[in-house]
Structure 1
Amino acid sequence: MNALQKIGKFAGDTFAIWVLLAAGLAMWTPENFTWLAQYITPLLGIVMFGMGMTLKLDDFKLVLKHPKGVFIGIFAQFIIMPGLAFLLAKAFQLPPELAVGVILVGCCPGGTSSNVMTFLAKGNTALSVTITSCTTLLAPFVTPALIYLLASEWLAVDFMAMFTSVVQVVLVPIILGLIAQAFFGRIVTKAVDILPVVSVVAIVLIVAAVVSGSRDRILESGLFIFAIVVLHNGLGYLFGYLTGKLFGMTYEDKKAVSIEVGMQNSGLGATLAMAHFGAVTAVPSAIFSFWHNISGPILATYWSAKASRMEKAAGNGDGNGNGNQAAKKEEKEKVNA
């Protein structure tokens, strides 16, 4: 592992710390960070450009080889989280700006960090990458439509304006990243190692901009919104897993779908909120960005440890048939998980 890879890994592993630090500083001295608001859209564009540089044709081959898992993941992503967001907004009678903010982050595609979490959880990483890629490319069409359908009850939603925004900050940068990869492959290969650091810095700055712009509202209802975000995220993991179980997916696939559904592209949520509704609406996305980078590793660690125990049990045969018993026990655990 070279120096850039080590730095990138460190940035990814400590992401939640940097987000928390940025949020704390923005709360303490908001006047030092409000100027960042004008750069939120280009910052997210940089993240999406980096994603485009890492996308490969192999990421989409799984759609043809195993379409069932991919389509289950895509539909779960765009049904469970938006649906949960709408129900939470109704159940807790959220103010219009915060209700739309919760719905907005729920309607976003999966976040790229979900791929890393699925790998750490010993889930189906290839499935996770494919679902993330597909939902991200579908986002310009699906995300504005869902926001218009679910959030119009609270605030006016301009579908075409939002569609244009998502195309500008998601689709165009990804296409440019793919073009860069095609024409400058050797340079891109070297640059990929630093992308985790660039992504972390960009998202941290976005969070700082959002927090500084809505400091008073966060102080007023921060703990309440934090609880809503934690509930939204946790229910996303749960219902994502149960969806995989309902459709008879393997244990590894269920883990991938669960993490894909629970972890959102909160950077996109914050960008859309700031562009179309204001800083207060971006608060749920900012909190989500911090929280899912804590809950994701916790869940991944649990599943990884469980997988290791199952592998150890499966390998403890003693020549008297106990190996088969261990294998059966492992299969039973997978079915009952």
Structure 2
Amino acid sequence: MHSLARLSRFVGKTFAFWVLLFAVLAFFAPAQFKWIGAYIVPLLGIIMFGMGLTLSKEDFIEVAKRPMDVAIGVLGQFIIMPALAWILAKALQLPPEVAVGVILVGCCPGGTASNVMTFLARGDVALSVAITSVTTLLAPIVTPALIYLLASQWLEVSAAAMFWSIVQVVVFPIVLGLVVQTLLGTKVRSAVAVLPLVSVVAIVAIVAAVVAGNQARIATSGLMIFAVVVLHNGLGLLLGYWLGKLTGMPVSKRKALSIEVGMQNSGLGVALATAHFSPLAAVPSAIFSVWHNISGPLIATLYQRFRNEDGSTGAAPR
């Protein structure tokens, strides 16, 4: 188990490489990866179950200890990224399925990768985890409502059906993970050590499945979608930092807010697009998953140079 945990840490640190590698392989050999498409929802459920195993009562106590900071982060997450997605879709006159896909990923909650990037950036990790937890638990209500509000002008949106999908693939697995953690306690610690490996394999598989299933469409419109995703992610990171600055947050919290706003649960975006729209609508989420695992380490490295309120800079603490 020790060697498996070591492998898990290595794979977790090289996440971006594996996502990019298998996205490229799936593009050039789609027949080898298309079969994974039938397992996207179960794979996302596994990731969410792992998130449930890692949550603790301290994460929810953190929400109660500083509700204003968490509320600012949650509002930033559910206002900035959806608004940016809608503005980009309108301004660039994106095709309907692509527009819906961009809006969909913008309306998703934060992903657990943001917590890791906040740690590497020497940001406020406790705040990042609290915001991720709250936005994820609010997602069954807020995400379908936002998608209905912003995307129904392009394609028909069933908010009720999406609510049930999110409950199935996000809430149930997280609650199950919390229950297992509560019942087994310290016995799950060894399992938690290999969760990065499981999560990386699941996300890589989801991305590969979407790329393989949309190889022809990506070949013709992939560069346009990639440019939109890069712009969406970059503006989210920037506006998240500015939001922290405007609300008087210290630097460590600004870092957390920036990364939390800019990085999405793109796996959920893929699952919702595949279930409720079309394979093409899943492409922005898949490309977002590839890109934010590249931009995340880059922004974390940049933020290491920003002096925190305690005067610290440099690499993340060991």
TM bucket normalised to smaller: over 0.9
Distance 2:239 2:134 in 1: 20
Map of 1:113 onto structure 2 = 113
Distance 2:146 2:306 in 1: 36
Distance 1:300 1:208 in 2: 26
Superposed counterparts of 1:177-196, under 5 Å:
177-196=177-196
SS at match of 1:306: coil
Map of 2:155 onto structure 1 = 155
Map of 1:293 onto structure 2 = 293
Map of 1:85 onto structure 2 = 85
Shift of 1:53: 0.6
> Structure 1 length as normaliser, TM-score?
0.90
Q: 1:193 to 1:312 in 2, by over 3 A?
A: closer
- The 4+ residue runs of structure 1 with deviation greater than 6 A are none
The alignment yields a C-alpha RMSD, in angstroms, of 1.6
Map of 1:261 onto structure 2 = 261
Map of 1:30 onto structure 2 = 30
Q: Report if aligned partners of 2:251, 2:306 keep a CA contact under 8 Å in 1.
A: no
Distance 2:222 2:293 in 1: 18
Q: 1:144 and 2:144 equivalent?
A: yes
Distance 1:298 1:16 in 2: 11
Post-superposition Cα deviations, 1:128-169, rounded to whole Å, max 9, x if no partner, equal 010001101111111111111111010000111111100000
Map of 1:233 onto structure 2 = 233
How many residue pairs align between the two structures?
313
Give unpaired runs (5+ residues) of structure 1.
Answer: 314-337
Shift of 1:20: 1.2
Identity of aligned residues (%): 64
SS at match of 2:305: helix
Map of 1:176 onto structure 2 = 176
Query: Whose radius of gyration is greater, 1 or 2?
Result: 1
Map of 1:273 onto structure 2 = 273
Map of 2:246 onto structure 1 = 246
Distance 1:258 1:205 in 2: 27
Shift of 1:3: 2.7
Distance 1:25 1:4 in 2: 25
Map of 2:203 onto structure 1 = 203
Distance 1:9 1:191 in 2: 13
Post-superposition Cα deviations, 1:300-321, rounded to whole Å, max 9, x if no partner, equal 111113338x9479xxxxxxxx
Q: Report if aligned partners of 2:251, 2:307 keep a CA contact under 8 Å in 1.
A: no
Q: Report if aligned partners of 1:122, 1:307 keep a CA contact under 8 Å in 2.
A: no
Post-superposition Cα deviations, 1:237-290, rounded to whole Å, max 9, x if no partner, equal 011111111111111111110000000000000111111112110000011001
SS at match of 1:196: helix
